[in-house]
Amino acid sequence: MAKHDVRITVNGEPREAAVESRLLLVHWLRDVLRLTGTHIGCDTTHCGACTVLLDGEPVKSCTVLAVQADGREVATVEGLEQDGTLHPLQEGFQQEHGLQCGFCTPGMLMTGRALLEGNSDPSEAEIRQAISGNLCRCTGYVNIVKSIEHAAAKLRQESA
Amino acid sequence: MAPQTTPEVCGMGHSMKRKEDPRFIRGQGNYVDDIQLPGMLYLDIVRSPFAHARIKSIARENALKVPGVLAVITGETLEQYNLHWMPTLMSDTQMVLPTEKVMYQAQEVAAVVATDRYAAADGVEAVEVDYDPLPVVVDPFKALEPDAPVLRTDKEDKKDNHIFHWEVGDRAATQSALAGADVVVKQDLYIPRIHVASIETCGCVADFDRVMGKLKVYMTTQAPHAIRTVLALVAGHVGLSEEKIQVISPDIGGGFGGKVPVYPGYVLAIAASVVVGKPVKWVEDRMENLQADSFARDYHLKAELGATKDGTLTALKIKTVADHGYTDAAANPSKFPAGLFSIVTGSYDLKHAFAEVDGVYTNKPPGGIAYRCSFRVTEAVHTIERLTDIMAHELKMDPADLRLKNFVPADKFPYKSVLGWEYDSGNYHGALRKAMERIGYAELRREQADKRERGELMGIGISSFTEIVGAGPSRQFDILGLKMFDSCEIRVHPTGKATARFGTKSQGQGHETTYAQVLAEELGIPAAHIEIEEGDTDTAPYGLGTYASRSTPTAGAAGAMAARKVRDKAKKIAAYLLEASEDDLEWTPGTFSVKGAPQKSKTIQEIAFAAYTNHPPGMEGGLEAVSYYDPPNLTFPFGSYICVVDIDRGTGEVKIRRFVAVDDCGNIINPMIVDGQIHGGLTMGMAPALLEEISYDENGNISGGSFMDYLVPTAMETPRWETDKTVTPSPHHPQGAKGVGESATVGAPPAIVNAVVDALAHLGVRHIDIPITPEKVWRILKDKGAGL
């Protein structure tokens, strides 16, 4: 099968690889780069466990080919913590009990990050709308909403 | 109950932040599909497009030509090793791979082993299977008809599709009580087939070391020890020996009952690894998960409830047909083919009851497992809570009043139910009154009356459930003969820190945190200094695993008992160090001191150090203990839920405006985690009430087989749950705790359905089967001329 040379920046680090045409971005991240924080929960782009940011936009990486990310920037959960400091979202999820089994959490965090980068003070309805493509079977979403609100408040405080 | 320990010690009652979170929020969890071993191969599965068909031939040649494909395994391959069938937990039999015919759509037909997951998928596409379709039996009632095709032709003496008959209670007395009742309501209910759909699907990595003969299996399992024993029993004849089998259940992405059974994929990966001598990974995709893994529920019920005209409930009779698919692969305790359905008298002091269940084979996937509930308790609670509401309607009584009139009173506990259970504790009136007050019940009824005048549709629904969890006492409870105790082993290290291992396995419940708190409560060692391990059969003591809300009632209790053994020894060491008599010592969390001389004291940390450096002559060194806890009874959590719905007359959409859940799970280990469990349980209760169903057409084709049409709730449908508590400690659990993980899944559906029916009651609606989709409501509104 044909291979393509790609250059993809992952969490700020430039990567070069030769990938098969059909290789999914999520498999490249997980199986090749061994960034296993991005999970796979369905085959139909519904569950959002595989959500990463592609040039800042949340995408389901199970429905993106690795070649489609050529020349672009990918952000995964592994890049959230900076210099030993947790991202406010990570802190929010821990403080507000926004996770249980942890499987949907990386996708929720990345969706939350994209939301907060465009909206520093989202309403509950806006948060629910934003995460409506990310399924969680454990928490009932109440504490996920609180976790994102926690992070939003902290980010506003930091930028004030 | 106020915490007895300081925030530093963080015993019971503290909302300690979870110890497992630091890895999960960084994407550093270790789930099965994250495991990548050197030389690892991938296994993928060919599945049947037919629900019932004879296999004429399987051609593997083209698959073997696919680059990277190493082997194609069929039923004939496995038959050489006598591994083509395996036992189910209910002592039925299930195909690993078929040699003659397939029995449901998506059944495993062959397996392909390849060097990577894409090559394995290519191989699956290239396997050619020739089928000869057979008549399909989908409807369990038709399956019971005399001329129905017999499905289990593999069983020589089997002449029909009936699996089992189970009954409980006094049939004659119940019939006579119903005949004498002033009012009898009858209702048919269908509780449809659903799927737990944990966000992580099932899978394993099997790693067989040919030189040492050791099999290591990383597996999505809720019960690693039981799985190890089953593997040894099933595959002993091909050389797998229990001391050389290590089952590791790493981080698990949700279980809810779906990760209790042994699926053919696990067996195939293990068999492939043993044959090839390399690690083999199998991870199912979502469609395989929904279409082939064990389902839950699928109960067709006929229920009758009798009462006096002043509203005293007198008798309950239920007849059930249970669709088990092509094999009985439920995950019930062995003596309970219908699980704990006999909790069906619920929270009410009924004098007469009789229930029977008949299990039936159909051309559907096997199962009958839980969906976040303790063995058919949801089916039971749904039935009694619906019937109670229907009775209230019939008697023109407020459903709250009817419940308050019939609850088992608090002073009657322990209460022996007419169907044979001894409820350990309860205060049902307290929970319902608290829920009514919290939601403003009387005011809501007034609002409803006003809205009804204006033609608006608003309903209020109550569910006052009693659960039965924590299986269980070994005199009644076993799985394949394995008694359902559970275990804890504690090692207190010289510096006063501890490691403890348990026979259960968390799938998100937070055991690493709550078990540490259980031990901190008993030992006074800070929970932060207690490391909890589970899920590795080489290191953890034997236990039956985590499901049916049993971890706190069984393993949590074992933790408390093991800690008390540690404390008993610590007391002897303290007496030696303080040169005092044991009788003169008193315990405050973390310290033994001499009565009347508190300055003479030793902390648990000082005692731990002495256990290794200065222990009393004649005493063994070290500070460790193990407990295998066999609970004397189950625990009976309960609660009252009230739901308020508004219905859109144009679309039929049901909107949950408010939902108040008052739960009683006895003494609480971690309030934050309990609330999280309730939130999640409520959402998994709303799901089947309004959204989820797996159904089949007459040819056995599934609908609901992917997330395209199996509607797991998103944040948009899920309301902001409101929770509250009452506390009625379990009298027999060492810490007074009860299981809580499933209460809300069990209690929520009837509250929602009762609210919807209540909103439509004035139109003559008495019952709606779940899921209550907008279409169902829209059709009702149209029929009744009440739509827009």
- Reported as a single tens digit per residue, the pLDDT across B383-418 is 999 999 999 999 999 999 999 999 999 999 999 999
Element (H, E) at B415: strand B415-416
Report pLDDT digits (tens) over A110-122: 999 999 999 999 9
Task: Identify any residues that bridge with B162 across adjacent strands, giving them in sequence order.
Answer: B360
Q: What is the mean pLDDT of chain B?
A: 97
Nearest to A42 by CA among A151, A119, A118, A135: A135
Tens of pLDDT, residues B496-505:
999 999 999 9
How far apart (Å, rounded) are the C-alpha atoms in residues B80 and B219? 25
Q: Are strands B295-307 and B367-369 parallel, antiparallel or unpaired?
A: parallel
Of the pLDDT bands very low, low, confident and very high (cuts 50, 70, 90), residue B707 is very high
Query: Do A130 and A66 share a domain, yes or no?
Result: no
Which residues share a beta bridge with B59? Answer: B128
Question: For residue B170, how many other CB atoms are within 10 A of its CB?
Answer: 15
**Cβ separation B28–A37 shorter than 8 A:** yes
Residue type, B25: I
Going by C-beta distance under 8 Å and a sequence separation of 6 or more, which residues neighbour residue B613?
B494
Q: Is residue A151 located within the same domain as residue A114?
A: yes
Rounded mean pLDDT, A33-38: 98
The answer to whether A18 faces chain B, any CB pair under 8 Å, is: no
Q: Say if CB B623 and CB B569 are below 8 A apart.
A: yes
Structure confidence at residue B459 (pLDDT): 98
Active-site position among B94, B105, B222, B448:
B222
- The pLDDT-based confidence of B1 (bands split at 50, 70, 90) is low
Residue B372 designated active-site? yes
Q: Report the DSSP pairing between strands B280-283 and B245-248.
A: unpaired
- Please, which pLDDT band fits residue A57 given cuts at 50, 70 and 90? very high
| Yes or no, beta carbons of A94 and B17 under 8 Å apart | yes
Task: For residue A44, give the nearest of B31, B34, B707 by CB distance.
Answer: B707
pLDDT tens string B102-117: 999 999 999 999 999 9
Best of A76, A141, A144 to mutate (most B CBs within 10 Å, chain B): A141
Q: What are phi and psi of B537, to 5 degrees?
A: -70, -15
Query: Do A107 and A69 share a structural domain?
Result: no
Per-residue pLDDT, B234: 86
CATH number at residue A13: 3.10.20.30
**A-B contacts at Cβ under 8 angstroms:** 174
- Indicate whether A75 and A16 sit together in one domain: yes
- What is the distance between the alpha carbons of residues B56 and B53, in angstroms, rounded to a whole number? 9
> Which of B34, B668, B747, B113 has the alpha carbon at shortest distance from B403?
B747
Q: Is A109 on the interface with B (CB under 8 A)?
A: yes
Residues of B in contact with A78 (CB under 8 A): 26-27
Q: What pLDDT score does B760 carry?
A: 98
Beta strands B295-307; B183-194: pairing state: antiparallel
Q: Do A102 and B23 count as a contact with CB atoms less than 8 A apart?
A: yes
Residue of A103, A132, A133 lying closest to B199 (CB–CB): A103
CB atoms within 10 A of CB A106: 31
Amino acid identity for residue A30 in this structure = R
Catalytic residue from among B10, B373, B643, B665: B373
Whose CA is closest to A58, among A38, A42, A44, A43? A38
Closest Cβ opposite residue A139 in set B118, B198, B676: B676
Residue type, A33: L
The amino acid at B88: T
Q: Which residues pair with B502 in a beta bridge?
A: B488, B534
pLDDT at B335: 93
Using 50, 70 and 90 to split pLDDT, how confident is the model at B730?
Answer: very high
CA distances from B450 to B447, B454, B457, B586 (A): 5, 7, 10, 63
Number of H helices, E strands in chain B: 19, 35
Encode pLDDT of B175-224 as tens digits: 999 999 999 999 999 999 999 999 999 999 999 999 999 999 999 999 99
B522-551 CB burial, b ≥16 within 10 A, e <16: bbbbbbebbebebbbbeebbbbbbbbbbbb
Same domain, A73 and A127: no
Domains of chain B: 21-28+486-629 (3.30.365.10), 32-134+202-283 (3.90.1170.50), 295-471+633-783 (3.30.365.10)
Taking the CA of residue A119 and the nearest CA in chain B, the distance in Å comes to 18
- Cα dihedral sign, B506-B509-B511-B512: positive
**B278 contacts B350 by C-beta, under 8 angstroms:** no
In B441-551, where does DSSP find H-type helix?
441-454, 511-523
Cβ–Cβ of B199/A94 closer than 8 Å? no
Cβ(B98)–Cβ(B117) under 8 Å?
A: no
Active site residue B10: no
Q: The domain containing residue A69 runs over which residues? A: 3-79
Measured distance CA(B104)–CA(B49) in Å, rounded: 8
Which chain B residue has the Cα nearest residue A135? Answer: B714
Is B501 a residue of the active site?
no
A123 touches B at CB < 8 Å = no
If asked whether residues A94 and A113 sit together in one domain, one would say yes
The gap from C-alpha B125 to its chain's centroid, in whole angstroms, comes to 35
- For the segment B87-103, the average pLDDT, to the nearest whole number, is 96
- Residue from B260, B471, B481, B265 nearest B371 by CA: B260
Assess whether pLDDT exceeds 70 at residue A73. Answer: yes
Over range B523-528, report the average pLDDT: 98
Q: Which two tokens stand for residue B335?
A: 């003596």
Cα Rg of chain A, angstroms:
16
A131 vs B contacts (CB less than 8 Å) = 714-715
Asked if B651 contacts B778 with a C-beta cutoff of 8 angstroms, the reply is yes
The beta-carbon neighbor of B508 closest among A124, A138, A143 is A138
Is pLDDT at A1 greater than 80 in this prediction?
no
Query: What would the pLDDT profile of B599-619 be if each residue is shown by its tens digit?
Result: 999 999 999 999 999 999 999
Active site includes B79?
A: no
Structure tokens at B126: 């290239």
What average pLDDT does the segment B156-174 reach?
Answer: 97
Rg (CA), chain B: 27
CATH number, domain containing residue A148: 1.10.150.120
DSSP string, B428-451: HHHHHHHHHHHHTHHHHHHHHHHH
Mean pLDDT of all residues belonging to chain A: 97
Helix (H, G, I), strand (E, B) or coil at B634: coil
End-to-end distance of chain A based on CA atoms, in angstroms?
A: 53
SS3 breakdown of chain B: % helix, strand, coil, rounded to 5? 30, 25, 40
Residue A50 contacts B where some CB pair is shorter than 8 Å: no
Torsion of CA B11, B505, B715, B643, to 10 degrees: -70
Tell me what pLDDT residue B132 has. 98
Count: domains in chain A: 2
* Cβ-count burial B249-284 (b if 16+ within 10 Å, e if not): bbbbbbbbbbbbbbbbbbbbbbbbbbbbebbbbbbb
H or E stretch including B384? helix B377-395
List strand residue ranges (DSSP E) for B249-364, in order.
280-283, 295-307, 313-323, 352-360
Q: Which of A27, A47, A79 is the last residue of a domain?
A: A79
**Domain end residue (candidates: A36, A51, A79):** A79
Do A131 and A74 fall into the same domain? no
CA distance B286 to chain A (A): 5
Whether A74 and A94 map to the same domain: the answer is: no
Instruction: Sort out which chain A residues have CB atoms less than 8 A from B31's CB and list them.
Output: 36, 39, 103
Cβ distance B33 to A30 less than 8 Å, yes or no, reads yes
> Chain A residue with minimal CA distance to B683?
A140
A42 interaction partners in chain B (CB closer than 8 Å): 285-286, 706-707
Task: Choose the final residue of a domain: A79, A113, A138.
Answer: A79
**Angle between helices B743-760 and B774-783 in degrees, nearest 10:** 20
Contacts of B118 in chain A (CB under 8 A): 20, 22-23
Per-residue pLDDT, B367 = 87
Q: With contact defined as beta carbons under 8 Å apart, do B108 and B49 qualify?
A: no
Report helix, strand or coil for B585: strand
**Measured between CA atoms, how close is B81 to chain A, in angstroms?**
33
Please tell me the distance from the alpha carbon of residue B461 to that of residue B755, in angstroms, as a whole number: 4
Per the CB < 8 A criterion, the answer to whether B97 and B108 are in contact is yes
User: What string of DSSP letters covers B687-731?
Assistant: HHHHT---EE-TT--EES-STTTS----TTT----EEEE-----S
Distance CA B604, CA B490 (A): 14
Record: contact A106-B27, CB cut-off 8 A:
yes
CA distance B388 to A78: 52
The answer to whether B350 touches B309, Cβ cutoff 8 Å, is no
Using CA atoms of B485, B491, B492, B493 in order, give the dihedral in degrees to the nearest 10. -170
**A28 and A67 part of one domain:** yes
Backbone angles phi, psi at B144, to 5 degrees: -85, -10
The pLDDT tens digits for B257-277 are 999 999 999 999 999 999 999
Q: How far apart are CA B715 and CA A51, in angstroms?
A: 16
Contact B470, B553 (CB under 8 A): yes
Reduced to 3 states (helix: H, G, I; strand: E, B; else coil), residue B121 is: helix
pLDDT computed for residue B239 by the predictor: 87
Task: Give the nearest partner residue to B27 out of A76, A95, A101, using CB atoms.
Answer: A76
Number of residues that make up chain A:
160
pLDDT of residue B181: 98
